[in-house]
Amino acid sequence: MAESDHNIDLDSLVTRLKGEDSRNLRMMRNMKWLFYSMIVVYTLLLIVNPDRELQLHHRISGLCYVLGFTVFAVLFRKYYIDYKSIDYSVSSVEMLSKAVKRHRFTFVYFLYALPALLLVDAGITISEYNSLVSVEPMNRILMVQAFLIPVFAISGLIGYMIWRKRQKPLHDQAQQLLNELTGS
């Protein structure tokens, strides 16, 4: 390891943690409100849409969107509350321990979002299923999934790459400093 890796400045790390946490707080607030507004819009479309050609599958698809957006809104609200309640006045060990946990990349985050992704996937599949009438029923589903699965996978990869660039260094430095403070 380079010499600079051994001498992590707590004040500098805290400043960078505060900046990243502040950015994440803003992003969670914005995403929460985006999903709240989408819930309202799609609910209104489901209830008061005057289109006479609106069929049952449109309503089921719309309901899947509303439910998926609701799960996303709840998740972003939870993360917003978590970021809003960050306290840097606690002991260094406690603050670093929480920072390590907060900036860790785990598969659990994907599992929390999975129900919302599946509901949105179902909504899109139901919606597109009836627009592909010239294709066999199973192939309709497979065609939609052939588009959606790569979109979800690429989105996940982009999220991982952003984490790796922005938050992994904070996680690693907080972990290293925590280990030095606790003698681990």
Task: Kindly report, residue by residue over 130-154, the tens digit of the pLDDT.
Answer: 888 787 888 889 999 999 999 999 9
Distance of CA 71 to the CA centre of its chain: 11
pLDDT on residue 107? 85
How far apart (Å, rounded) are the C-alpha atoms in residues 51 and 62?
Answer: 14
* Residue 76 near residue 28 (C-beta atoms within 8 A): yes
- pLDDT confidence of residue 4: 45
- Domain locations in the chain? 3-182
Looking at residue 155, what is its pLDDT? 94
- Distance between CA atoms of residues 30 and 80, nearest Å: 9
Rg, Å, the chain Cα set: 22
For 31-69, b/e burial (b = at least 16 CB within 10 A) is bbeebbebbeebbebbeeeeeeeeeeebeebbbbbbbbb
Q: How many CA atoms lie within 13 A of 4 on its CB side?
A: 2
Query: Do residues 82 and 29 lie in contact, with contact meaning Cβ atoms separated by under 8 Å?
Result: no
Rounded to two decimals, the pTM is: 0.86
pLDDT of residue 6: 56
Q: Which of 25, 3, 15 is nearest to 86 (CA)?
A: 25
Amino acid at 119: L
CA-based nearest residue to 66, from 120, 112, 29 = 120
Closest among 38, 89, 96 to 68, alpha carbons compared: 38
Q: Quick one: pLDDT at residue 109?
A: 83
Low-confidence ranges of the chain (pLDDT < 50): 1-5
